[in-house]
Amino acid sequence: MNDKVSALLNEQVNKEFYSAYLYLDMANFYTGKGLDGFANWYEIQAKEEQDHAMLMYQYLHNNGEKVTLEAIAKPDKVFGTLMDPLAAGLEHERYVTSLINTIYEAAQEAKDFRTTQFLDWFIKEQGEEEKNSMDLITKMELFGNDPRSLYLLNNELAARTYSAPSLVL
């Protein structure tokens, strides 16, 4: 594997774990507000990010690469309104998309076709993540100011379940 591609994937493992921390922080915020459905949604987001990190971790190992785990930074966002974590989540997903795109571009430049194929799943996943974040913001804008509607939206988010990705490495 190309050294640059390996280094970028290694960095991304750590960034995915940071994403999990960030989403747990958002879940913690909503738990404090009594919105267990919103908390559930972000707890599942955290599990997804942990799985993304582990997929990259395993991919690196399967290709004979060393993985270096770094310290995970403490989330530094301060949330004041119910909309703040949603906006921060969308911003973060767009950032992660840019990181995945950078790795993909490096793999293409190195003619590392195995890694570009591996990253295809993440490219698609990031599109879904951004859309889910935008949809949640739209719902919150439409219903969040009405307590009954917020209650229904919270119940909808509480029903979200998680299934780990099945990606052949």
14 within 8 A of 72, measured Cβ to Cβ: yes
pLDDT at 162: 86
Q: Is residue 136 part of a domain?
A: yes
User: DSSP state, 69?
Assistant: P
Domain boundaries, position 126: 3-158
Sign of CA dihedral 60, 100, 131, 14: positive
For residue 144, what is the domain's CATH number? 1.20.1260.10
Asked if residue 165 is part of any domain, the answer here is no
Q: Please indicate, yes or no, if residue 51 is contained in any of the structural domains.
A: yes
Domains in the chain: how many in total? Answer: 1
- CA distances from residue 85 to 63, 89, 156 in whole angstroms, order as listed: 37, 6, 17
DSSP assigned state of 65: -
- Do the domain assignments include residue 7? yes
The three-class DSSP label of residue 80 is coil
Residue 164 lies in a domain: no
Rounded alpha-carbon distances, angstroms, from residue 140 to 115, 133, 163, 168: 37, 11, 25, 36
- Inside any domain, residue 31: yes
pTM (2 d.p.):
0.92
36, part of any domain? yes
The mean pLDDT values, 10 residues at a time, for the chain of 169 residues are 96 97 98 97 96 96 95 93 97 97 98 96 96 96 91 94 74
Would you report the helix, strand and coil content of the chain in percent, each value rounded to 5?
Answer: 75, 0, 25
83 within some domain: yes
